[in-house]
Amino acid sequence: MSKLADVRAVVDSIADGATLVIGGAGASVEPDLLLETLERRFLETGHPRNLTIIAPMLPGDRPGEGGLNCIAHEGMLGRIIGSSFNRNRHPRLLDMIAAGACDAQIVGMGVLIQLLHASGAGQPGVFTRAGLGSYLDPRQGGGRMNERTSAPMGRIEQIDGKEYIFYPALHIDWALIRGTTGDENGYVSMEEEPNTLGMVELALAAHASGGRVVAQVKRLARRQSLDPRLVRVPGPLVDHIVVHPTQRQVSPSMADPLAGWSPFLVGALRTPLDNLPAMPPGAVRLLLRRAALELRAGDVVNLGAGIPTHLPRIALEEGALDRVIFTNEHGIFGGLMATAIGGSFVPALNPDAIMDSGFQFAFYDGGGLDVTFLGVGEVDGSGDVNVSRFGAEINGSGGFNNIIERTPRIVFCTSFASGGLDVAVAEGQLSIVREGRSAKFVPAVEQRTFNAARALGQGQQVRYVTERAVFDLGPSGLVLAELAPGIGIDDIRAKLPFELDVSPQLRPMDTTLFNEGPLDIASEPQERRS
């Protein structure tokens, strides 16, 4: 019997109070037809009500529409569990959280994926050290995002004298997933999807809970006609196949040049990269060129969201793209993040491998990375970093805490200030033409996403790179280690709301950065860890 189903009939089966897990991240693998039909049903009938939504990633990148906007209605949403949020994409949802119109809980992206796997395997839950000492620690709020959310999901447990956060298994009523092709027996392949994003973990959790799995696909195939090597979700896990013939490979955002199908995102073809324009001059280019000097030949690198996603462009310009292996939390190994041409951070051009999210976070948690480059919302004198919350603006932290837990070298990349910052370079000297309106260096971070003291205690090397100075993490906090030519110690001191500690070995930033000479990137192999 075919598992093909009518989308409205499936959505009409979702009961009030149900728990739904929703796949997708940004522009990739968004089950948009399912979400839009679910929203239409609620607006027409007032049901389903009081849903619990679990979104391990952040599906949808169209401002104010699609993605999680579809469930952001009072009465419809009772509780949301996710790893990150974004006001530009989902303003109504952020307003609901800030107003206490729903419970809101942040759990790290890697932990959520692992928790879905554990739930699908009949395990009691997940033990993790990722998030200890941060806002995700149950003793520091446990990821609760408003006062309505009464208790954190996790609790502290000890195993062999070590602390862990324990998250109990989840019960899932519905999994809304997506692929490219589904056959009549429910097998789902993902040959045109630029990422896989844990679809099988979502399906497994719902199936083991006695729930139902509905897969949105672009086309239906005859039973047993799919290439088994391309199948990512096996038929026994899938209850319904819904066909969306106009499904786009990535979100149909008008701003996204990859809105059509691209073979370059799935490895079917490789696009030449030689003619990509250089990054424009300015503070971001300067700091990324300095950050690139942290690369060593053979490094396995994670790139966080924001400024670091452009680091491969610098490596490409310097002929070093093939000397290191860039990855992101969404399963990408190698290639050039699609942000290089104005696309989404989630997929990549010319990837060497597209792995599933469960593997990617197991690899990260197991210490597979050599170095990570991460963005900064704000940083204080102790070296603590906040990327997760700014007043009523709730960002969460995605895979941040899994990424940093076992990575030996951490490089934070940030302009010294944001909002209108303008710099100039003349005769090898940096000058600040116009200071940014918003300070990045603050007396104390509003929320601790990165615990500097804990990282130092674990022996991790931490560096903070800006366009005008480089700081290292020392026993007492930030230590000024490098200065740009044209910038004095007093210039830095005047901009910091805390006492400046200056390294006795203070040195100038590499002069090559300020005359656009070739950089020596990743030319020396690193010593591999045993």
CA distances (Å), 411 to each of 135, 311, 351, 436, in order?
Answer: 20, 12, 23, 22
* End-to-end CA gap in the chain: 53
pLDDT score for 392: 81
Q: Which two tokens stand for residue 342?
A: 């104005």
Measure the CA dihedral 104/109/110/111, to 10°: 0
CA distances (Å), 491 to each of 123, 125, 207, 469, in order?
Answer: 55, 51, 60, 10
For helices 199-208 and 109-120, give the axis angle rounded to 10 degrees. 40
pLDDT score for 526: 56
In this structure, are residues 488 and 476 in contact, taking their beta carbons and an 8 Å threshold?
Answer: no
Strand partners, 337: 348
Give the residue among 258, 111, 110 at the shortest CA–CA distance from 192.
Answer: 258
pLDDT along the chain (530 residues), means of 10: 96 99 95 98 99 96 89 98 94 95 98 98 98 98 95 96 98 99 98 97 99 98 97 99 94 54 91 89 97 98 96 95 97 92 87 97 98 98 97 92 98 97 96 96 98 98 99 98 98 97 98 91 62
Stretch (H or E) spanning 111? helix 109-120
Residue owning tokens 């051009």 = 349
Fold of 283-514: Glutaconate Coenzyme A-transferase (3.40.1080)
Q: Which two tokens stand for residue 438?
A: 């918003």
Which phi and psi angles does 113 have, rounded to 5°? -65, -45
Q: Which two tokens stand for residue 489?
A: 């110690």
Stretch (H or E) spanning 434? strand 429-434
ω into 280 cis (within 30 of 0): no
In this structure, are residues 81 and 153 in contact, taking their beta carbons and an 8 Å threshold?
Answer: yes
Q: Which residues contact 357 (CB under 8 A, 6 or more apart)?
A: 56, 57, 109, 110, 113, 196, 197, 198, 201, 329, 330, 331
DSSP, collapsed to helix, strand or coil, labels residue 490 as helix
pLDDT score for 21: 99
d(CA 200, CA 77): 25
pLDDT score for 255: 44
DSSP, collapsed to helix, strand or coil, labels residue 393 as strand
Please state whether 419 falls in left (phi above 0), alpha (psi between -120 and 50) or beta: left
Active site residues: 329
Enumerate the CATH 3.40.1080.10 domain ranges in the chain, comma separated: 7-125+171-243, 283-514
pLDDT score for 529: 43
pLDDT score for 252: 59
d(CA 457, CA 326): 27
d(CA 92, CA 196): 27
Please state whether 460 falls in left (phi above 0), alpha (psi between -120 and 50) or beta: beta
Strand partners, 325: 300
d(CA 519, CA 318): 7
CA 9, distance to chain mean position in Å, is 33
Give the residue among 337, 116, 142, 77 at the shortest CA–CA distance from 206.
Answer: 116
d(CA 310, CA 318): 13
Q: Which CATH architecture has domain 7-125+171-243?
A: 3-Layer(aba) Sandwich (3.40)
Instruction: Annotate 335-360 with DSSP letters as a single string.
Output: SEEGGGGT--SSSEES-SEE--HHHH
